[in-house]
Amino acid sequence: MTEPAQMPTVILERRGHPRVSVRIPVRIFVLVEEITFSPFQYDGYMINISRSGALAIIQDVSREEYARMIQKRRYVRVSCRFPGTDQPVMLFGKLIWYDFQEEPTGSVFRLALTFEPMKDEVYEALDRYLELQKKESGVRLPPTAGMDRA
């Protein structure tokens, strides 16, 4: 009996907007309203971004801060400057996924966020940056004209 030919593995992107790998410095503000109305601030890096969300890494978060952050859904602001632009942008969203690891060099906290609806000029800056990344990397991103931003 002959074995069936192996089929290639196909990975489907379930997200509505493809991610682009980046390394952009960010300042992340996390609201932990049961403790304070002044958000916790962290500096880190965005490591991928799409039109609907991003993944960032921050370091040296204490286990206690991490435990507080995962108790409920958190709202965040992310301040960043897209390479090639003059003005910083403020992205608003919700934390939807967390990963905390303690390593010999310190803690690493990866957090994914989904963007809340933003002003048109923020979407325009994001679209320009994603288009630039598309040209530089050769990745084909779908057109965004006429897309619902919610």
Per-residue pLDDT of the chain (150 residues; tens, 9 = 90+): 444 444 433 334 565 677 888 999 999 999 887 777 788 899 999 999 999 999 999 988 888 888 888 888 889 999 999 877 788 999 999 999 989 988 888 889 999 999 999 999 888 889 988 888 877 766 554 444 444 433
Secondary structure letter of residue 142 according to DSSP:
-
Say what the alpha-carbon torsion angle 73, 78, 82, 86 is, to the nearest 10 degrees.
150
Establish if 84 belongs to a structural domain.
yes
Is the CB of residue 90 less than 8 Å from the CB of residue 68?
A: no
**Where in the sequence is the domain holding 70, given as residue range(s)?**
20-137
Establish if 8 belongs to a structural domain.
no
**Helices assigned H by DSSP within 1-150:** 63-69, 120-137
Give the integer Cα–Cα distance in Å for 72 and 94.
11
pLDDT at position 120, please? 92
What residues contact residue 56 under an 8 Å CB cut-off, 6+ apart?
A: 26, 28, 44, 45, 46, 47, 78, 110, 111, 112, 113
Please report where in the chains the tokens 């108790």 appear, as a residue. Answer: 71
Establish if 15 belongs to a structural domain.
no
Establish if 104 belongs to a structural domain.
yes
Q: Which of 120, 118, 26 is nearest to 79 (CA)?
A: 26
- Total of domains in the chain: 1
pLDDT at position 39, please? 87
Establish if 49 belongs to a structural domain.
yes
Q: What is the CATH number of the domain that holds 95?
A: 2.40.10.220
Establish if 99 belongs to a structural domain.
yes
Give the integer Cα–Cα distance in Å for 35 and 11.
42
Give the integer Cα–Cα distance in Å for 129 and 67.
34
pLDDT at position 53, please? 94
Establish if 149 belongs to a structural domain.
no
Dmax (CA) for the chain in angstroms is 69
Sign of CA dihedral 13, 49, 94, 110: positive
Establish if 66 belongs to a structural domain.
yes
Please report where in the chains the tokens 């916790």 appear, as a residue. Answer: 40
